[in-house]
Structure 1
Amino acid sequence: MGTSSPEALLICEHCDTVYRRRPLARGEVATCARCGAELERHHAMSTNAMLALILTSMIVFVQANMWPIVTLGLSGQHSSTTLWGVIIAMWQEQAKVVSVLVAATLFFFPLMKMLLLGWLLWFGKAGRRAPGFVPLMVALHRLGPWTMSEVFVLGALVAIVKAHTYFDVTADPGIYAYAALTLLITIFAGVDLRQLWDDLPERTA
């Protein structure tokens, strides 16, 4: 590699193979020739665009948790509930482990991820690293697999279809808000957050 600067190199985080970085075209993904792991994606979204996407996701997230997700009707009686209504009902029915997992993966972890990203991007739009940049980036990497809104939406849709056998079921605005949130999360999943390490270099004295 000679005297190449660190910014010109890519290191595979799985097998430590070192590569010389080259510009990627739109849609291109660099992968490790040794282990096949993803090294880098094309930076298609700016810091300001990512911040706008996170703010939109937070608005939709609040709506999804405030609005009822489904209404069940039987013999002229109707009952609707929010996500937290379901979590509390599971807790009261002695399904405490499940209720904790649902609360963590559908509320606390996604909320934490959005708040951390919002904090980093708020400073990033000014071209500087936020306080606690390094540990927060590590925390975001750890939180990645634990946001499961898309699993909830698919499970809720299956449950609604099956419940039609016994109840009059109406999908409420909350489930549509979660569907929109899933779409936003899917869009953001295609963004390589590691670009922040390059876009926001550490300032030296």
Structure 2
Amino acid sequence: MDASPSDVAGPDAATHGLLICEHCDTVHRRGPLAHGEMAECARCGAVLERCRGMRADTMLALIVTALVVFAQATLWPIVTLGLNGQYVAATLWDVIHMMWLDHSQVVAVLAAATLYVFPLAKILTLGWLLIYARSGRRAPGFRRLMVALHHFGPWTMSEVFVLGALVSIVKAHLYFDVLPDPGIYAYAVLMLLITVFAGIDLTRLWDETCDEDAEAAS
């Protein structure tokens, strides 16, 4: 459904319930959306918001699941390499440590940031916001954390790691005995969870929560 521009709204019109297109800055009035519907800008056709049936409680449960899977993915061995009867298992941090010792410090830092720091920061930040959102409240630091979530998105590259690891396993199988370990499967599950969260419009938390300090001041 298309959102209608609020060009006729007067200067005293309430700002609550308005949508601003981030592409062309057209202001629209928010209308109710049925499950699966989306609001599009009447001027440029960009998607303004989507109606997702997932509630804050459901998203928080997925966040807890993602945190458990993330711990498993980073602590469990990813792959075991065998040569002449000798086998060595490697975790994510073993791989990063080997890259650091191999004078690839830049790659090691990028791998640690994109596979550990940013995904963990995104999971914890979203979990903190959802704990308060369950009761319709905004968490302390809500505005800064919502902005941070927007910037975390491009830097969580678990899906790139999983695809790269699968290609490496296939190629390494020509020279070594390669055994995928539980860590790589945990990363595959984490990739699916991150994909699910990528399809959720988190901007709706602005409308589904209220600032207690602002209400008290009014």
Q: TM-score, normalised by structure 1?
A: 0.95
Structure of greater relative contact order (alpha carbons < 8 Å, 6+ residues apart): 1
1:9 aligns with 2:18: yes
Q: Secondary structure at the match of 1:6?
A: coil
- Residue of structure 1 in register with 2:208 after alignment: 199
1:25-80, Cα deviation, whole Å (9 max, x unpaired): 22223233444433101131111111111011000000101100000111111111
Task: Report the 3-state secondary structure (helix = DSSP H, G, I; strand = E; otherwise coil) of the residue aligned with 1:129.
Answer: coil
Aligned length: 205
Q: Which runs of 4+ in 1 moved over 6 A?
A: none
Q: How does 1:148-163 map to 2 (within 5 A)?
A: 148-163=157-172
Match of 1:112 among 113, 121, 126: 121
Match of 1:137 among 113, 137, 146: 146
Percent identity of equivalent pairs: 64
Contact 1:43 1:195 in 2 (8 A): no
Q: Secondary structure at the match of 1:94?
A: coil
The equivalent of 1:28 in structure 2 is: 37
State how far apart, in whole Å, the 2-side matches of 1:38 and 1:98 are. 36
Which whole-Å CA distance do the structure 1 matches of 2:96 and 2:115 have between them?
A: 10
Contact 1:66–1:174 (8 Å) recurs in 2: yes
CA contact (8 A) 1:10 1:18 kept: yes
Matched with 2:77 is: 68
1:187 to 186, 196, 202: 196
Measure, in 1, the Cα distance between the counterparts of 2:14 and 2:42.
22
Residue segments in structure 1 that go unaligned for 5+ positions in a row: none
Unpaired stretches in structure 2, ≥5 consecutive residues: 1-5
TM-score (norm 2): 0.90
